[in-house]
A and B are shown apart, each in its own frame.
Chain A
Amino acid sequence: MNETADKSNDNPEKEIVIVIRKMHKWYGQFHVLKDINLNVERGEKIVICGPSGSGKSTLIRCINRLEEHQDGEIIVDGTELTNDLKNVELVRREVGMVFQHFNLFPHLTVLDNCTLAPIWVRKEPREEAEATAMEYLERVKIPDQANKFPGQLSGGQQQRVAIARSLCMKPRVMLFDEPTSALDPEMIKEVLDVMIELANVGMTMLCVTHEMGFAKTVADRVIFMDEGEIIEQNKPHDFFDSPQHDRTKLFLSQILNH
């Protein structure tokens, strides 16, 4: 009943899309996520950073249940993630995800990659799905590659197709799991530009990334994680200029001064 109260908040800009409460996760004996509490508002852009192995990817993978949490609760758009497969599918429809290694389907053309889920999950007519797909491919600036196969594209182009593929499901939240980590430097910019444009039209975004420039310009909030805990979260300006924790300071000094 708390959730309904949250949703019917009189200020629409303060609507909470994701609620994570006292969430824990273990891999066997290893405690990867410890007591995570996080609320994400509609339209909010969050950047999650931290050293490798700090659990940041695991955290966003819990949000569309590619990983299961063992304790606490995760509620996405009013639906709690449990073992109920129908609920999981419901959440996955509304939450798009972009992977480090793109994970495009190599046996399908770019266009078919984009229309697969709308056709089979949203039951859209093919023509409509293809029109939507072309629209998004234009937004990521590669409509002319629609009939090629993923193997024929560069890394940056593939990642932009992957973003378009997610957007074709018209998600309410987008998760980015190190989207530029597998790219050459000159391709990073073309992907970041697409992400910035997406942020500008008001998409709710959670990005795990090491691109601190992106964090400074786009993020509403930066979250720092270490050893499975959220150590610190703040507005980007305060986060970078006056970090509170020693671990944050150490991390920032390591990635900014090299």
Chain B
Amino acid sequence: MANNDIALMTHLLRRAGFGASRDEIESRAALGYEATVEELLNPNDHPGLEQDILFRYQPAYNEPAAIEVNVQQWMYYMINNPRQLQEKVALFWHMIFCAGHSKIDSGQEMSLMVNMFRDHGMGNFRDLLMLLSTSPGMIYYLDNSESHKTAVNENYGRELLELFSMGVGKDDEFNYSEDDVKACARAFTGWNIAPSYPPFPYGRSAWEFRFDPADHDDADKTFLGNTGNWNGEDILDMVCKQPATARFVARHLYNYFVADEVPVPSWRQTPPKDPELIEALESAYFESNYDITAMLRVLLNSESFKNARYAKVKNPAEMVVSTLRLVGDHQEIKPGLFEISQEPKYMGMDLMNPPTVEGWHTGHEWIDSGTLVERINFASDYLGQTDLPGVKGIVNRLMAEGETISPKQFVDGCLDLVGQLQVTDETYGELVSHAEREGELNHQSEMQQQDFVRRSGEMLQMIAATSEYQFG
């Protein structure tokens, strides 16, 4: 099979999912790029994760209250959900529609939000904003529950425009005024959470959305130049029609799936890195009547996407999950899932608990001297475990290259098998001279085989420690 097909498929599965084993990459490459894109874009045509296995082995998985269990459950989904793009999209929206456990204080509500992103994140954007605006977790996180007809709290109204849909501005212009924020907030008064049932005797129940007409400001409001007795739904209709919204969603998709962009607050003044692709995504947004899947189809089939290999710093969830998928660990429920689920937090991404409503700072800002040590040690610890099925598979493929392989072949093989990693000449030179210290590799005798395995583990650890492995 052409090497370029493999490289491209590796790239697709790393971006539209959390990476894949070499076997899966090869079988999908045989199927073809566009066919694989279509499969990823239509997750509901294919079986998802078998939930009954979760419940069978861990009964506590049924609507757990503790945040740690909810994060574990999500981690298991990310590693094992065969509908990988759906899972990747759930994380995408979690990083934009930010609500954090630190305030919500309910693991169950956090999972309900993630489930919503998983189930609806590839659907219609207006529907998604409607679900978000009626999500009790979000209503509480951004104080819409404290927003009343007679005392308007602007928090949700503002963030809906600034962070969830239109963005502050584009092409140096501002997208909305402070008066629009006020009108938007007024339109969402009365969008609240129903009083909870008492927790006894059946435990805490999920919060429910309730619209309270008596607490809704139904006077006329002027929003983006249109005057009327607007309710929240009318606002969403108007917001979704805006070119600003198309641009904002397109740039976010680009930043997450294609290449690291400048931080969101700079988007008003800084034009997109790739204006052509952004324009194509904007057109797809309007032509499909705001369908996220349609936008993703354009994105994943674009040349810009195909060429943007290793142009992004992996976020911590990607670092952890893609490494585990590569080495083939935690493919079933087993002890240690808790520890794994804490790893992104050590690397600066406390899942279900973003630092603020603005979310995490991405790109190179994931890296500091503390998080880099965690990333390197995590990845190299796992890639050095030569008894794990994925690592075994890599070693077997290396051995299959010939009875004797040269240090250079060895390094090339390892780089190829960890996902066709591209490294700088300096890094490559260091890896080769490291391999040369012990000379060529053989695997005829048992002792040679043991040596081969040991050296493979060491080389994979070195590769996992490179600056290039920080990219995805």
A and B bound? Answer: no
Report which A residues bind B (CB closer than 8 A).
Answer: none
